């Protein structure tokens, strides 16, 4: 079984796997690897370990060496040049009146390639910008357009919770997020409340979704007729975390009961209830004792 090591090129970035090539690497070691962008510095985040060969989708590139003091100094020099490259790119964008926002500029380890990240609402014809940048900076330039979520991951910031954005610190990859997750967690469906800085649904909606779905399995649905220690009533809400049910009693009082004190009577018991005590069925239909679906007593 081959050995693999997990490395990351930036904080909160995706983890890539390389062949440690027999080097005794440890977590937090800085190494030099070869990528499609040339030589780059990376940080070991997963120590070398063995994996089954058929789990590898493609041949692994080897780790070239541990990062030397010269590598670190060279990277620091290019970090200073990145600020100048980013500023020059922004000036050219203004001169060419291009509808794009320059986010970041990043040199590889030896300075042979410069990658500039930008965001835009649509496609941008940046051929003239690319030509001018290559001639001005005397290096190979690559322009890469990012989406709204990738932009937030790259630039960082503080979320509505007051903590650093999850995408730029703890998430390796984005997971699909849907409005159903907000509904299952009884969150207000106000875009301002459930959207992040990127304008998309917050990634943290996925963190507890599975737990909410599991906890809500045994909760009676809203509008369901139930029996409680203080008499019958109709469910008007529930708290999945507390495992409680809010019931409107016949006296119109709203009372919160623990789930184990609420009993859902069988259907035949509900059919024997007075008309005014029955909860409406989905679709506005109403069950009448002795009737079945489509029968004369079932009116819609």
Q: Are 158 and 172 in contact (CB under 8 A)?
A: no
Q: How many residues does the chain have?
A: 300
Q: What is the mean pLDDT of the chain?
A: 82
Choose the final residue of a domain: 130, 146, 162.
146
Residue 264's pLDDT band (boundaries 50, 70, 90)?
confident
Question: Which of 246, 179, 185 shows the shortest CA–CA distance to 211?
Answer: 185
Q: Averaged over 71-90, what is the pLDDT?
A: 90
CA 205/CA 238 separation, integer angstroms: 19
The CATH number of whichever domain residue 96 belongs to comes to 3.30.300.20
Choose the final residue of a domain: 15, 48, 67.
67
CA 212/CA 187 separation, integer angstroms: 12
CA 153/CA 171 separation, integer angstroms: 9
CA 76/CA 111 separation, integer angstroms: 11
| Domain-embedded: residue 288 | no
Lowest mean pLDDT among 34-38, 126-130, 285-289: 285-289
The rounded percent of the chain whose pLDDT value lies above 90 is 22
Q: Are residues 79 and 139 in the same domain?
A: yes
Choose the final residue of a domain: 67, 85, 103.
67
Q: Are residues 47 and 80 in the same domain?
A: no
Which tokens is 213 given? 């779905």
Q: Are residues 61 and 17 in the same domain?
A: yes
Backbone phi, then psi, for 56, in 5-degree steps?
Answer: -85, 125
**Per-residue pLDDT, 299:** 40
Q: Are residues 168 and 184 in the same domain?
A: yes
**Residue ranges of E strands in 67-175:** 101-107, 113-119, 140-145
> Mapping DSSP to helix (H, G, I), strand (E, B) and coil, where does residue 261 land?
helix
| Domain-embedded: residue 295 | no
Q: Averaged over 6-12, what is the pLDDT?
A: 82
| Domain-embedded: residue 89 | yes
Q: Are residues 82 and 126 in the same domain?
A: yes
**Per-residue pLDDT, 30:** 92
Q: Does position 97 have pLDDT exceeding 80, yes or no?
A: yes
| Domain-embedded: residue 286 | no
Q: Does position 90 have pLDDT exceeding 90, yes or no?
A: yes
| Domain-embedded: residue 51 | yes
| Domain-embedded: residue 290 | no
Task: Say how many CA atoms lie within 13 Å of 133 toward its Cβ.
Answer: 27
Q: Are residues 115 and 87 in the same domain?
A: yes
Q: Averaged over 162-180, what is the pLDDT?
A: 86
| Domain-embedded: residue 217 | no
Which tokens is 236 given? 């008007």
| Domain-embedded: residue 205 | yes
Residue 287's pLDDT band (boundaries 50, 70, 90)?
very low
DSSP structure class, residue 56: -
How many degrees, rounded to 5, is the angle at CA 153 between CA 17 and CA 26?
Answer: 30
Q: Averaged over 207-214, what is the pLDDT?
A: 89
> Mapping DSSP to helix (H, G, I), strand (E, B) and coil, where does residue 245 land?
strand
What strands, in cross-sheet order, belong to the sheet with 3-8? 15-18, 3-8, 38-50, 30-35, 63-66
CA 239/CA 252 separation, integer angstroms: 20
Query: Domain range spanning residue 184?
Result: 150-212
**Per-residue pLDDT, 32:** 92
Lowest mean pLDDT among 73-82, 164-173, 282-291: 282-291
**Per-residue pLDDT, 56:** 66
Question: Which of 217, 216, 237, 226 shows the shortest CA–CA distance to 245?
Answer: 237
Backbone phi, then psi, for 30, in 5-degree steps?
Answer: -95, 135
Q: Does position 282 have pLDDT exceeding 60, yes or no?
A: no
Domain count, the chain: 4
CA 152/CA 149 separation, integer angstroms: 5
Q: Are residues 40 and 15 in the same domain?
A: yes
The CATH number of whichever domain residue 255 belongs to comes to 2.30.30
Q: Averaged over 233-251, what is the pLDDT?
A: 89
Q: Are residues 134 and 188 in the same domain?
A: no
**Per-residue pLDDT, 295:** 41
């Amino acid at each position: 079984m081959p050995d693999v090591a997990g490395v990351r090129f930036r904080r909160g970035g995706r983890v890539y796997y390389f062949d440690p090539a027999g080097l005794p690497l440890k977590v937090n070691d800085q190494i030099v690897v070869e990528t499609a962008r040339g030589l780059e510095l990376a940080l070991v985040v997963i120590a070398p370990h063995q994996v089954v060969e058929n789990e590898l989708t493609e041949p692994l590139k080897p780790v070239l060496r541990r990062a030397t003091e010269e590598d670190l100094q060279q990277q620091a020099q290019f970090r200073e040049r990145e600020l100048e490259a980013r500023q020059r790119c922004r000036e050219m964008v203004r001169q060419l009146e291009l509808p794009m926002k320059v986010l970041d500029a990043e040199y590889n380890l030896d300075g042979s390639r410069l990658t500039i990240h930008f965001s835009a609402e649509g496609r941008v014809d940046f051929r003239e910008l690319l030509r001018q940048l290559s001639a001005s900076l005397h290096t190979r330039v690559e322009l890469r357009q990012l989406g709204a979520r990738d932009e937030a991951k790259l630039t960082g910031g503080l979320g509505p919770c007051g903590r650093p954005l999850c995408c730029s610190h703890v998430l390796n990859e984005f997971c699909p997020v849907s409005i159903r997750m907000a509904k299952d967690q009884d969150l207000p469906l106000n875009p301002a409340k459930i959207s992040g800085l990127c304008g998309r649904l917050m990634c943290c909606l996925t963190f507890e979704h599975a737990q909410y779905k599991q906890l809500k399995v045994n909760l009676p649905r809203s509008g369901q007729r139930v029996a409680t220690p203080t008499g019958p009533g109709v469910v008007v809400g529930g708290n999945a975390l507390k495992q409680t049910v809010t019931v409107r009693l016949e006296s119109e009082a709203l009372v919160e009961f623990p789930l184990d004190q609420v009993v859902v009577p069988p259907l035949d018991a509900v059919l024997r209830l007075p008309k005014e005590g029955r909860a409406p069925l989905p679709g506005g239909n109403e069950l009448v004792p002795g009737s079945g679906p489509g029968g004369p007593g079932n009116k819609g």
